Every structure is written in C-alpha cells, then in structure tokens.
Amino acid sequence: MKNEQKTISGFSKLSKRGKIKWIVQNFYKEPDKVMSELMSYWHSNEEQQKILDNFSENTISNFPMPFGVAPNFIIDDKPYCVPMVIEESSVVAAASAAAKFWMSRGGFKTEIISTKKLGQVSFVWKGDKAKLKYHFPEIKKVLIEECFSITRNMIKRGGGIMDIDLVDFTETEPHLYQLKATFETCDSMGANFINTCLEQFSTSLLKFFNASEHFTEEERKLEIIMSILSNYTPECLVRAWVECPIAELGKFPNGLSAEDFARKFHMAIRVAEIDPYRATTHNKGIFNGIDSVVIATGNDFRAIEACGHTYASRSGTYSSLSHCSIENGQFKFWLDLPLAVGTVGGLTSLHPIAKRSLELLEHPSAEELMRIIATTGLAQNFSALRSLVTTGIQQGHMKMHLQNILAQLKATKDEEVAAIEHFANEIVSFSAVKDYILGLRTT
C-alpha cells in the first residue's frame, strides 16, 4: 500500500460513512467485513448515537466497555450498589468481595477533608518586585470584582473564588510570577468555570497594569503566558477507612490466623510505602477501583489519575496512597486521595449511562461521590492485598481465565463442571484446557 493512500486532507468533513469507507479501504484487508463490524456498534437509536458522537471528533463507531456493579457497600452507614466500568476481569468481583467482608465489620467510613480546587495564571513581568507585592491586595480586589458576572451563580450555590495568591518564581526563572487561585465549585467538577475565571483574570490583569499609575511605562508591559486550572488538587481531599479488632478479621486461607494476616497485610503496605516499584503496582490496583467508578459516573479519569499520582509523590518519593496501622489489637486501613469530581454538568448529565450510574447512587452530591469513589479504591486495594498475602492473585485470576477459555471452546455445562474440578490443582493454559475438553469429547 502506498503511503499517500494513508493520509488525507479534509477527513473531518467526510460523513461518518465516508470516514469509515476511507479507513477500511486504506487500512484493512477485508474492508466490507470491517465496515459492517464497525457499523454494528452504532447505537440503534439515532438520537442516542448523535449524543455519543458529539462527545468527540472524527467518530466512526462506539467502543463498548463492560458496565458492572458492586453491591453491598456500606459507606457511612448507608448502603450503595456501586457502578463500575472496567475491562479487567476480577476487579468488580474484588470490590464486591471487600464490600461484603466489611459489611459485617462496621462498613466503610469516610471524611471530606477539604474541597478546594485550583487554577493558575502564569505571567512574565520585569518590574520592581516589592511594588508588585505591595499593590497585590488592590490587584486581587479588582480581579475578583471584574469576575463577578462569571461567579455570580456559583456564589449563589455556595461557591466561587476563595482566594488569589501571588506566587514568585523569579528565583528559579527570572521575571516569572503566577496567580494561584482557589475555587469552590460545589457539585460541578468546575473545569469550565475555573478556566473562564482565569481567562478573565488575565484580561483584568493586563488592563490593570496598562492603566495603573503605580507603575512606570516599562512596568506596564506585562505578558500573560497562560491561564489554566491545575489538575493537582491536594486540597480537594477525602479519606476512606475501615477498622475492627484484629480478632474480628476472621479466618484466612491456608490456616492463616487473623493476627498473622494483619501483620502480613501491614508489612505489604510498608513495602508500598517504601518502594516506588511496589507503590506503582499497589496504587494501580487502587485506581482499578477509582477509575471504574470515575468512568461510570462520567468524570475525567485522566485528571483523577494525574492528580493521584502527583499526590502519591508529594514527599519527593512516589509512595503508597493507602496506609495501615495495628495498635492495641485494632486493625485500621485507610486511603487519603484528592478527588476533583462532579455530579452536575459535563458528561455527568449528557452520557446516558453516566446518568443511570448517578441515579443508581441516588443522585449523590460531589462530596458524596468523593466518598464513594475513595471507598471503592480502598476496597479494591484490600482485596488485592488480601489475595497477595494469602493465596496469591493467580488463583482467582486463573478461575476467571478458565471460564473465558471454556466460553471460547463453547464448553457444555457438564464439560465446565468437569474442567473446574480438573483444573483446581492444575496449571491453566489455553492448550491444556483445549486438550482436556477435546479429550472429554472423544471419550
């Protein structure tokens, strides 16, 4: 295939059918088959498809992901059935198992530590630093006043601009300063609100300097570099935890006592607190739970991930997001996580399934959703560590793997029962299962 056939100008102007046609003809060996396969994932309802298409650009089809639920979560004494969108097997099962485990041990508890969000305007200014600092209270007042038409509604809902600080970066980069603004955005994630305010700050800042008699001709030349929210929101923080007397943890596989389980669990957390290699995998497991609820509720999982990993590095070394203590016979396991999420606006009210997820959670506020998401991350982490320090994770994974292979081989119910018994103590691989099933079929 010639390279020029693989590039095109005006692609975005083609109809959806036209786009698929061009793609299948130039990139696939069986164009007709691929075209009908891609089109088979179009929504049967044209209106619904239009909604999905409007979320992005150059859409040619939909990419389905499993939408599951984890029941039996008791969070702050309230029962929840948590919606989860994830393509990895065992994650929903692990969340459900942890929910059930803690249901009879007091459930999960949470606390909202703070809910502030941040935005920055970076600018270059070559004037007298002391003068800038001296006049900053006046500048701040102007910035807030001139933003009022944007903040009016948010203020009515209890939010708005909380503060604006001047950050001096000139020791590291000559003439570089920043406005660092804190916002309260109530039940919305607030990205649009914050960015609109920041762009207004830039306009107001330029206007102020242009017109101000405090500054010399030279000092009136201020250059805005950029205005954008920060996805690092360490002051939009939630804590989720579980605790119970060690004796109430119960019994574990391979005859492991509750005391030994607690001790090994605690040490597994210490490994993740000390070693970034383990911390990355440990936190990945936490984000298995976090992301799946974030996606199911129409929130931005890239923002949540970026923020969580920065938070995990706040000491200077990447470390565990969860922690454990064993004191006076009490086992406590907790997670602190910054989570800037919304339950109104954006995808939360446009995506048909995200709407259903929020309905399943009985229309939570943003704070309540923070509690639910953090809890799901903690539950996920509990199940992963419970497996790791007892049986290892492969036992559970292999069960799922075996089920998938049996489905691929179109095994009958009897073959399935026989295979599960046979592979209870055998290594599962596609060829081993295939040989076993073919063996059954020829006897």
- Interface contacts to ligand MEV, rule CB under 6 A: 88, 281-282, 284-285, 288, 384, 393
> Least distance (Å) from ligand MEV to the CB of residue 383?
9
| Residue of 300, 367, 368, 401 marked catalytic | 300
Query: To 5 degrees, how large is the angle CA 270–CA 327–CA 289?
Result: 50
Q: Which residue is listed with tokens 């984890």?
A: 70
Identify whether 309 is a catalytic site residue. Answer: no
Query: Could you give the CA distance from residue 80 to residue 58 in angstroms, rounded to a whole number?
Result: 37
Query: Could you give the CA distance from residue 207 to residue 386 in angstroms, rounded to a whole number?
Result: 59
**DSSP string for residues in 210-273:** HH-TTS-TGGG-EEEEEEEEES--TTEEEEEEEEEEGGGG--BGGGB-HHHHHHHHHHHHHHHH
| φ, ψ at 188 (rounded to 5°) | -100, 155
Identify whether 397 is a catalytic site residue. Answer: yes
Token representation of residue 291 = 């992301």
Nearer residue to ligand MEV within complex by CB, 271 or 418: 271
Identify whether 88 is a catalytic site residue. Answer: yes
> Least distance (Å) from ligand MEV to the CB of residue 284?
6
> Least distance (Å) from ligand MEV to the CB of residue 360?
24
> Least distance (Å) from ligand MEV to the CB of residue 264?
13
The answer to whether residues 75 and 108 touch, using CB atoms and an 8 Å cutoff, is: yes
Token representation of residue 254 = 């391979």
Q: Which residue is listed with tokens 């830039």?
A: 202
Nearer residue to ligand MEV within complex by CB, 151 or 380: 380
| Residue of 284, 359, 362, 434 marked catalytic | 284
Nearer residue to ligand MEV within complex by CB, 115 or 288: 288
Query: Could you give the CA distance from residue 406 to residue 78 in angstroms, rounded to a whole number?
Result: 39
Strand 176-184 with 160-168, pairing? antiparallel
| φ, ψ at 232 (rounded to 5°) | -90, 110
| Residue of 397, 415, 416, 422 marked catalytic | 397
Nearer residue to ligand MEV within complex by CB, 27 or 277: 277
Strand 236-245 with 322-327, pairing? unpaired
Identify whether 363 is a catalytic site residue. Answer: no
| Residue of 32, 87, 88, 165 marked catalytic | 88
Nearer residue to ligand MEV within complex by CB, 290 or 384: 384
> Least distance (Å) from ligand MEV to the CB of residue 288?
5
Nearer residue to ligand MEV within complex by CB, 109 or 282: 282
- For the CA atoms of the chain, what is the radius of gyration? 27
> Least distance (Å) from ligand MEV to the CB of residue 193?
35
Active site residues: 88, 284, 300, 397
